[in-house]
Amino acid sequence: MHLKYLVLAAVVALAVQANGAEQTNAPAPHPNTALIPVPRTGSATNRQTLVLKRAKDAPGDYDIEFIGDSITQGWEMRGSNVWKEFYGNRKVINMGVGGDRTQHVLWRFQQGQLDGIKARVAEVMIGTNNSNKDDNSEADILEGVTAIVQQIRTRQPETKILLLGIFPRGKTFSAQRGKILQVNQALAKLEDGSHVFYLDFGSQLIESDGSIARSMMADALHPGDLGYRIWANATEPKLKQLLK
C-alpha cells in the first residue's frame, strides 16, 4: 500500500479510537430525581406518617381525595373555613404533605397511600417544590407529575382526576414563575376528556401588574382564606360535573 494511504488509515483509526474513548468516558445521563420515589426526612415524616395512617385507618368510598404539598395541606389551616363550607357535606380525604415533591408523592403511593381508597375524584396539585432553583428542569417536573397521574390511573382506574395547574409564586415576575408556566402548558395536554381533566386558575391569584397581594398569599406562596375561596369556587363547577 502506498505510504500516504497507510498514514491516512492510521489517522482514521486513531480518530475512531479517540471517539470511542470519549463516548466511554462521557458522564452518565443525569437521573430525573422527580421520578425516583423517596420518603421525607426530619420533622416532615410526622405529617407523612399521618396521611398514610389516615388512608389506612379509613378505607372505603370517598367523593374527593386531595393530593399535594403544603398548599393542599393548608386546607386544614388557612383554608379550614372554606373547606367546611364546600366540602363539609362531602366525604373527602386530605393527602397533602408540606414540602412534598413529586418523588415524595410517588413514594407514598408505593407505601399504600391509595390502597383501599375508592375516590370518585382525585384533585391533584403538585410540583411547585420541584421548581426551586436548578433542582429539576421543566421536563423533569412534567415527567414527575405525569407519573403521579399514571399511578392514580393504574391504582384507581375508576377515579376521575382533576389536575390543577401549579399556582404562581413569588411577589412578582420571575424565572421560577416562567418555569411553572411552561410546565403548566404541557400539563394541560394530559387532559383526555374521559379520565383526566385539567384546570388552571392561577391568573385569579395575581394582580393586574403580575404581583401577588399579601391578602392572597402572605408569603407569596401559600394561599390565605381568600386564595382558598378562589380555589374552591374555581373547581366547584367541574367537581359537580365529575361527581354526578
Vertex 205, ends 203 and 209: CA angle to 5°? 70
Answer yes or no: 70 catalytic.
yes
- Answer whether residue 165 is part of any domain: yes
pLDDT along the chain (244 residues), means of 10: 42 46 61 98 98 98 98 98 98 98 98 98 98 96 98 98 98 98 98 98 98 98 98 98 96
- Print the domain residue range for 212: 34-242
Answer yes or no: 219 catalytic.
yes
- Find out whether 121 and 66 touch, Cβ atoms under 8 Å: no
Answer yes or no: 222 catalytic.
yes
- Find out whether 105 and 48 touch, Cβ atoms under 8 Å: no
CATH number for the domain spanning 81: value is 3.40.50.1110
pLDDT at position 3: 42
118: amino acid identity, one letter = K
DSSP 140-176: HHHHHHHHHHHHHHHH-TT-EEEEEPPPP-SSS--HH
Q: 89 CB contacts (<8 Å, ≥6 apart)?
A: none
Q: Which of 2, 63, 70, 80 is catalytic?
A: 70
- Find out whether 217 and 205 touch, Cβ atoms under 8 Å: yes
- Answer whether residue 90 is part of any domain: yes
How many structural domains is the chain composed of? 1
Cα gap 65→84, rounded to integer Å: 15
- Find out whether 133 and 101 touch, Cβ atoms under 8 Å: no
- Answer whether residue 29 is part of any domain: no
- Find out whether 192 and 146 touch, Cβ atoms under 8 Å: no
- Answer whether residue 174 is part of any domain: yes
Q: Which three cell numbers stand for residue 186?
A: 404541557
Q: What digits encode the pLDDT tens for the residues 77-90?
A: 999 999 999 999 99
- Answer whether residue 77 is part of any domain: yes
Q: What digits encode the pLDDT tens for the residues 203-233?
A: 999 999 999 999 999 999 999 999 999 999 9
- Answer whether residue 106 is part of any domain: yes
Residue 69's SS3 state is: coil
Q: Which of 115, 135, 192, 219 is catalytic?
A: 219
Q: Which of 200, 208, 222, 225 is catalytic?
A: 222
